[in-house]
Amino acid sequence: MGAVMDASGADAAPLPAAGAAPQRCCLTGGIEALPHELLAQIFLQLDAAPDAAALVGSCRAAAHAWAACARAPWVRRRAAAASFARACAADDAAAAAHLLATGWPGAEADAAAAIARHTRTGQLSAVRAVIDWAAAAAPSLLAPPGDGPRNGPLVLATAAGRTSLACHVVSALLRLGRREGAAQSCRATQPQQWQQGQQPAPQLLWRDVQFQLDRALRAAAAGGHTAIIARLATAGARADSAGDGLDCGACCVAVLHGHPEAVAALLAWPAAAGGPTREQAAAAAAIAAGCGLASCLVPLLRAGGLDGAALGAALAAAARAGQAECAALLVSALRRGVAPAAELAREERALAALTDAAAADGGAVCVVRISAPGGGAPPVAKAGGAEEGGLAAALREALALAPASGRAAALLAEELARAPTAAAPGSWGAPLPPAVANRRRGGFWYQLGAALLA
């Protein structure tokens, strides 16, 4: 069978001889990937062929049509996009990188779709190859500008819990930020070169990078991914960044999603370096107390960043919601003030046992009694002076908000009766009567907590 003429009159590739192995198109990989419009024409011609000669003529006409069609940009785009999709689905990083280096119309959009899809499905080698290509050729994929969708690969990887991929994207973003800073310095020192018709490389604004870091930090807090939080902390993310209308930052996001380990990781981050501020820690404590999240309230109390006003506001939130366990923890914090590190470590074991016990049977009221350093009243108890009653005022306000028939109200009433006054400033340290201290039937868990604290 002779050579086939294409639409321009030049010789196209010869048709295969009879009995030869079927050839596959280098662009599409086979007839199954041909455009459906062309396949429809071929099948219509085959159905109308009365004999073998007519069938050969139909195939020849189809070859002519494909030879002219294969050079069309839309066909090249569809073929390259299909090959790229197959390479990513097979997690073939080398093939994906080769196709991206070759390029095709719409490669950036296909790359963004591949990142979003395969970050979830787990083809991470191909996704890393796409990210490396984007860092060199399409920086806007890594840090989308403000006028488009803002969830970049870093946010997607963090939300999916892909720690290694998230760290890879962070490194790529930091390299791009340093490169863009050097380019801006060059444009500032040699402006005449940029005014002579030279086109600068695609710019990556640092505010877009910062937005991705901050949003990824909130996604990590929502998922409890402490390793990603640690990496973002070293990269310059800001836990105090609000964004998305959430004024309380990443710490409150971790509390709202119930991840105490993420709360502890964020609180270990100094506020001067972008960590949670005192105001955000106070807001997180109020949320945890109001929602009854004692496990999230414990790291907030251990961090020591809550002053008397913040503890009082959290106690009021716990009382309003009737959360007796959180109210007991906050009353204990108000009483003891700031304890030494050894005291906190010893208390943490007891609080963990009491919290686990409360979760096991649906809740309990347990007041942890720890003497203040030196035997005196803690600074919070003295706030406002004995006449004004700093601790008594907080307890009185919380009692007014608590449901009258709830366990939190009974607890707060007993605490208020024993709050320090001008006549007896140290009366807060006296032991509670067993009937008041132990609201649980049997008293086993209270005895266990007392033994741990002894």
- Average pLDDT, integer, range 271-290: 90
Q: Phi, psi at residue 80, to the nearest 5°? A: -65, -40
Q: What is the pLDDT of residues 157-212, one digit of tens each?
A: 999 999 999 999 999 999 887 766 555 544 444 444 434 444 444 455 778 888 89
**What is 182-207 written as a DSSP string?**
HHHHHHHH-HHHHTTTPPPPPP--HH
Name the pLDDT band for 437 (thresholds 50, 70, 90): very low
End-to-end Cα spacing for the chain: 98
CA separation for the pair 71, 136 (Å, rounded): 28
What is this structure's pTM? Answer: 0.65
Q: What is the pLDDT of residues 118-141, one digit of tens each?
A: 999 999 999 999 999 999 999 989
- CA distances (Å), 167 to each of 111, 119, 164, 175, 228, in order? 19, 13, 5, 12, 7
Q: What is the pLDDT of residues 373-416, one digit of tens each?
A: 333 333 333 333 333 345 667 777 777 777 777 777 777 777 77
CA separation for the pair 350, 441 (Å, rounded): 19
Q: What is the pLDDT of residues 413-436, one digit of tens each?
A: 777 776 655 444 444 444 444 444
CA separation for the pair 66, 345 (Å, rounded): 76
**CATH 1.25.40 matches 142-186+204-274:** yes
Nearest to 143 by CA among 211, 90, 196: 211
Going from N- to C-terminal start, the domains of the chain cover 142-186+204-274, 277-454
Burial of 343-364, coded b for 16+ CB within 10 Å and e otherwise, reads ebebbeebbebbbebbeeeebb
**What is 361-383 written as a DSSP string?**
HT---B----PPGGGSPPTTTTT
